[in-house]
Structure 1
Amino acid sequence: MLSHIFVSVSDFDRALAFYQPLMAALGHEPRFCEPDLPWAGWHSAGGQRPYFVICHPHNGAAHDPGNGPMTAFTAPSRAVVDAVYGAALQQGAVSEGPPGLRPHYHPNYYGAYFRDPDGNKLCVVCHDPV
C-alpha cells in the first residue's frame, strides 16, 4: 500500500543518531544517507518498499510535527518492541505510552509509543500472539 514515508527533522545529525539504532533493532537496512542534502532512508530486508526517510522540510520552512500524524513500525516480536522503545528513550525520545498490550485495538496488539527529538510521534508494534 505504501511506497515511502518522509518525516521532517530540525537537526539532521541528531535525528540520524536517534534513528540509526532504532532501524537497526527493527532489522531495516540503510537505503541511503546524504548528510549534505540532508536526508537518510531505510528499507525492509532485501530493499523492499516501503521505505522510511528523515530529512529537512523540502520547502525550507521550519519543521512542525503536527498533531495527529504518527508513523508505526512493525516489530517481529514483543521483545523487539521493548528493545526499540528502550533504545528510543536512551536516544532522547519522550514516552507517549510504554510497551504493553492494547486489547482495544485487537487481542494481540503489543505496542509502544514515543516522540522523537523533533516531536514526531512514532509507534513500534507487534501484532503476533505470544
Structure 2
Amino acid sequence: MLSHLCLGTNQFARAYGFYTALLGELGLVEKFCDLQKPWAGWMTPGVARPLFVLGGPHDGQPAAPGNGQMTALLAGSRAQVDRCHRLALAHGVLCEGPPGLRPHYHANYYGAYFRDLDGNKLCVCCHEEA
C-alpha cells in the first residue's frame, strides 16, 4: 500500500540520532544517508518498500508537523512498544500517551504515543496478544 513515508525535520543531526535508535529497535536498517541534502532512509532488511525517509523539506522552508497527522510504526511485541517508548523519552521527546492497551481500537491493540523532536506525532503499536 505504501511506497514511502517522509517526515520533515529542522535539525537533521539531532533527529537522525533519534530515528536511528528508534527504527533500529524496530528492526529497520539504514538504506541511505546524505548529510549534504540532508536526508536518510530506513527499510526492513531485504524489503525495498516501504521506506521511512527523514529530511529537510525540499522547498527550503521550515518543517512543520501537520494537525491530525500521525505516523504509526509496527512493533512485534508489547515489550518492544515499551522499549521504544522508553528510548523515545530518553531522547527528550514529548509523551502523548504511555504504553498500554487501547481496547477501544481492538482487544489486543497495545500502543504508545509521542511527538518527535520536531513535533511530529508518532505511535509505536502491536496488534498481537501478550
TM range (shorter): over 0.9
Please tell me whether the aligned partners of residues 100 and 111 of structure 1 are also in contact (alpha carbons under 8 angstroms).
yes
- Aligned-partner Cα distance in 2 for 1:53–1:93: 19
- Aligned-partner Cα distance in 2 for 1:45–1:103: 31
Displacement of 1:49 in angstroms is: 1.2
Q: 2:10 aligned with 1:10, yes or no?
A: yes
- Aligned-partner Cα distance in 1 for 2:65–2:18: 16
Aligned to 1:73: 73
Superimposed CA distance per residue, residues 62-112 of structure 1 (whole angstroms, 9 cap, x where no aligned partner): 111121111000000000000011101111110000000000000000000
- Which runs of no fewer than 5 residues in structure 2 stay unpaired? none
Kindly provide the amino acid, as one letter, of the partner of residue 26 in structure 2.
L
Kindly provide the amino acid, as one letter, of the partner of residue 76 in structure 1.
G
Displacement of 1:60 in angstroms is: 0.9
Aligned to 1:90: 90
- Which runs of no fewer than 5 residues in structure 1 stay unpaired? none
Aligned to 2:64: 64
Displacement of 1:47 in angstroms is: 3.0
- Aligned-partner Cα distance in 1 for 2:123–2:45: 20
Runs of 4+ in 1 over 2 A off after TM superposition: none
Over the residues paired in the alignment, what is the CA RMSD in angstroms? 0.7
Superimposed CA distance per residue, residues 38-73 of structure 1 (whole angstroms, 9 cap, x where no aligned partner): 000100121331110100011111111121111000
| Bigger mean CA offset, 107-116 vs 55-64 | 55-64
- Aligned-partner Cα distance in 2 for 1:18–1:43: 16
Kindly provide the amino acid, as one letter, of the partner of residue 55 in structure 2.
C
Kindly provide the amino acid, as one letter, of the partner of residue 80 in structure 1.
Q
- Aligned-partner Cα distance in 2 for 1:4–1:103: 29
Aligned to 1:39: 39
Please tell me whether the aligned partners of residues 4 and 50 of structure 1 are also in contact (alpha carbons under 8 angstroms).
yes
* Local SS of the residue matching 2:49: strand
- Aligned-partner Cα distance in 2 for 1:125–1:39: 25
